[in-house]
Structure 1
Amino acid sequence: MDALLAAPVAAKIGGSMLLTKPSALPTNVSAELTRLKPSAIFVIGQISEAQKTALGKLTPRLEVVAAADKSETALAVAKRFFPNDPAVYIANSGMATDIANAAGRAALAKAPLLLTGPTQTSANFKAYFATGKVTSARVIGTGTSISAAVFNEVKAKVAATTRVNSSEAFSVNAALLKDFDAGSVRPKGFAIANSGSAADIAVALLVTARTGYPLVLAQQSCVPAGASEVTSKYPGANYSIVGTTTDLVSDIHKKRCT
């Protein structure tokens, strides 16, 4: 989950995004940080004291951005890295695929991602919109994911609040990809991951943050028709396909679900 919050940050600051474990710094991650020699390392979410010590040896500046839960962490990230951004994406904190879809689009927009419960928001969430700096909000999911009450609460503060009104992960993904349907913004490629693999989605978001490739969620054997309708309009596009052939069959980008 923290990786999904980190993707828009990496895109915003133009930084590399690496994945670690909660209690220990993997050897390959340590080696990559040694190679990169970063002037600063930003950690999104809670990590162990041992990790803080290890990371502190690899950079002159270590900053951990975390809070009591993922919704509050998302707010902390938004305030720290997007203090004046006019746009925001909002997803249900308990809907992993909604968050993944929102994170992918937020990374492309270099905008913050906020999380909330389906029927009520926290005091800090309300305060975020009370400043008046947010002028555009996009809510991901149907009224089951984010209730009409929460949607209307945001819209009362942000007139330009819209909803991606789909409940199924592939439909949400296709709706977000429709932003590229007209060709006014032409992506150079797409990052494809299996919708059922949280780890692969996190890696695909690394690609999105670095390259600007929109996230495409696929089944193991094919790309859903809604997404394929958009990607097929870019025959020269590059594809970053994340996972083994167990996760996604070979040449998945050429296979459209019927």
Structure 2
Amino acid sequence: MFTRGMSGRGAVATALAGGTLLASSGAAQAATLDDYEITGVQFVNEDCSRNEYAVTTSVTGTVDDGGGFDRFRVEVWDDGVLKDSRDREVEVGTSRDIYSFLSFVGLYGTGAPGVGIVIDDIDGAGNSVGTLAYEDPFYPEDVDGPCSFDIERIGGETRLETAAMLSAQKFVSADTVIIATSRTYPDALAAAPWAAQLGAPLLLSNPTGLSAATTAELARLQPSSVIVIGGEAALGEGVLDDVAATLPGALVERVGGASRYETSAMIAGQVLQDSTAEVYVASGQGFADALVLSALAARHQAPLVLVRQDDIPSASAAVLATLDFDHLYAAGGPMVLSDAVLTDAADGVPVTRYAGADRYGTAAQVLEQFPAEGRVMVATGADFPDSLTSVPVAARTGAGVALTRPDSVPAAVMTQIDRLIAEVSFPLITIVGGPVAVNPSVEAQLQTLFSSAAAPASRPSGTLTESNIPTE
């Protein structure tokens, strides 16, 4: 049974252990929650409100819920309804700061004040066995801003501006920012699962220095840490100098090797795997298959390792040898990744290959692995810059990445987008890129899907309820 928390107004900045920190009622199975921090914001206009909550938890794994990991769940409730949740886990005997992003769209000014944030201990089957902490009400800061359901478009005149716009609209704050080159795709795609774990946006840079758009977004976010991805051939020292000048107090570090394969191997080693022990393998010679697979790897907290069509570079082989995995997933047919390469990479574990007749068929197969949660990012499959910046945002929100032709959505991809938004009251399709990259005809085609989506509930009237979290 929940009781109502007594915390005060948290605002957008944070509520640091400002609610009720509890010993779990199922103490024998409880993870140890040492501390937590909530950042919340609510974008409001006359149509709706878009709520976003970033919850950072300091957790110590105590009891094995399966695979050597202790599990817990972070939830956001509004007016007695569970709006979003994330299952997380920490290896038994270790302590980690774990980031969770929760979001929902709703109707403004109804029901109980604020929202309820719950951190629950769960068992291996996902059942709640006790409450570690809760806040009800937690008050986000109300700000004027975009609140859309159905279709939105985020795109600037350049790839650098699009990346900055995505960050500005989808990241209220970020302690860490990742910067990759705008000229090629492998570094950014390999970094997406790591960015998801860190709650970090991906910004793009020219090889010699930051653009005005990237500099402005860094200045807005004011992160404490900036990770520059790639060796000096990808991003020169001028980029690090520009970051240091923009953020004098931030820690600036480079993670990168002499090749895309060395860089992807270095990043893969940074990703903290969960108990599912999966690894994802994609081609470093073409962006489309790697892009959609990167979003799936990020959702499953698994590393993405780049290989070539007919061989495994030494750096990739070395990191695969150090990773603990019992299933390998790959994207693309044999002309993208040979059977021999996947056999060598798997080293005896089962292999699942997603492969369609073309990049769009493969993208549809990968998209099919995402649950129907109402969130989809749509980007062109003809070029990489806009598409790759969508991956960390997709990972942050749990969305799948759907590739489209510039002028039309392929039928198989359309079918999967329809599945993802059907029966969801406030679905959101985000088109990434301007009208040249993704033509208005695509938006018109996507709009036809909303006849099958669940209609938003009407705005209720009546008195406020006392709490957001159910009391029984």
Q: Distance in 2 between matches of 1:139 and 1:114?
A: 10
1:197 corresponds, among 372, 375, 383, to 383
Which residue in the other structure is 1:110 paired with? 301
Q: Distance in 1 between matches of 2:390 and 2:274?
A: 27
1:155 corresponds, among 346, 349, 356, to 346
Which residue in the other structure is 2:374 paired with? 188
Secondary structure of the corresponding residue to residue 221 of structure 1: coil
Cα contact 2:386–2:433 (8 A) shared by 1:
yes
Figure out how many residues of one structure are paired with residues of the other and give that number.
Answer: 251
TM-score, length-normalised on structure 2? 0.50
Deviant stretches of 4+, over 6 Å: none
Secondary structure of the corresponding residue to residue 367 of structure 2: helix
Which residue in the other structure is 1:173 paired with? 363
Secondary structure of the corresponding residue to residue 409 of structure 2: coil
Which residue in the other structure is 1:20 paired with? 205
Superposed CA deviations along residues 67-116 of structure 1, whole A, max 9, x for unmatched, are 11111110011112347772221111112212222222222223211111
Superposed CA deviations along residues 191-244 of structure 1, whole A, max 9, x for unmatched, are 001111211212322431332211000112222111111221223420111122
Superposed CA deviations along residues 15-53 of structure 1, whole A, max 9, x for unmatched, are 122111111111221121122111111111132112111
Q: Distance in 2 between matches of 1:83 and 1:162?
A: 18
Cα contact 1:223–1:255 (8 A) shared by 2:
no
Which residue in the other structure is 1:254 paired with? 447
* 1:70 has 2:260 as partner: yes
Q: Distance in 2 between matches of 1:175 and 1:211?
A: 20
Secondary structure of the corresponding residue to residue 64 of structure 1: strand
Instruction: Identify if the C-alpha distance between structure 1 residues 83 and 249 changes in structure 2 by more than 3 Å, giving closer, same or farther.
Output: closer
TM-score, length-normalised on structure 1? 0.88
Tell me by how many angstroms 1:132 deviates. Answer: 5.8
Secondary structure of the corresponding residue to residue 446 of structure 2: helix
> Aligned AA for 2:203?
L
Higher Rg of the two aligned structures: 2
**Equivalent pairs: percent with the same residue?**
27
Tell me by how many angstroms 1:255 deviates. Answer: 6.0
Which residue in the other structure is 1:213 paired with? 399
Which residue in the other structure is 2:73 paired with? none
Which residue in the other structure is 1:90 paired with? 281
> Aligned AA for 1:98?
D
Q: Distance in 1 between matches of 2:402 and 2:251?
A: 35
> Aligned AA for 2:254?
V
Secondary structure of the corresponding residue to residue 269 of structure 2: helix
Instruction: Judging by fraction of residues, say which structure has more helix.
Output: 1
Unaligned 5+ segments in structure 1 are none
Name which of structure 1's ranges 168-177 and 223-232 shifts more when overlaid on structure 2: 223-232
Q: Distance in 2 between matches of 1:10 and 1:253?
A: 29
Which residue in the other structure is 1:45 paired with? 230
Name which of structure 1's ranges 104-113 and 188-197 shifts more when overlaid on structure 2: 104-113
Instruction: Identify if the C-alpha distance between structure 1 residues 19 and 132 changes in structure 2 by more than 3 Å, giving closer, same or farther.
Output: closer
Name which of structure 1's ranges 187-196 and 205-214 shifts more when overlaid on structure 2: 205-214
Q: Distance in 1 between matches of 2:448 and 2:405?
A: 10
Q: Distance in 1 between matches of 2:206 and 2:290?
A: 20
Q: Distance in 2 between matches of 1:130 and 1:51?
A: 33
Cα contact 1:192–1:239 (8 A) shared by 2:
yes
Instruction: Identify if the C-alpha distance between structure 1 residues 31 and 246 changes in structure 2 by more than 3 Å, giving closer, same or farther.
Output: closer
Which residue in the other structure is 2:130 paired with? none
Q: What's the Cα RMSD here?
A: 2.1
Superposed CA deviations along residues 120-158 of structure 1, whole A, max 9, x for unmatched, are 11333223233361222101111121111111112324x
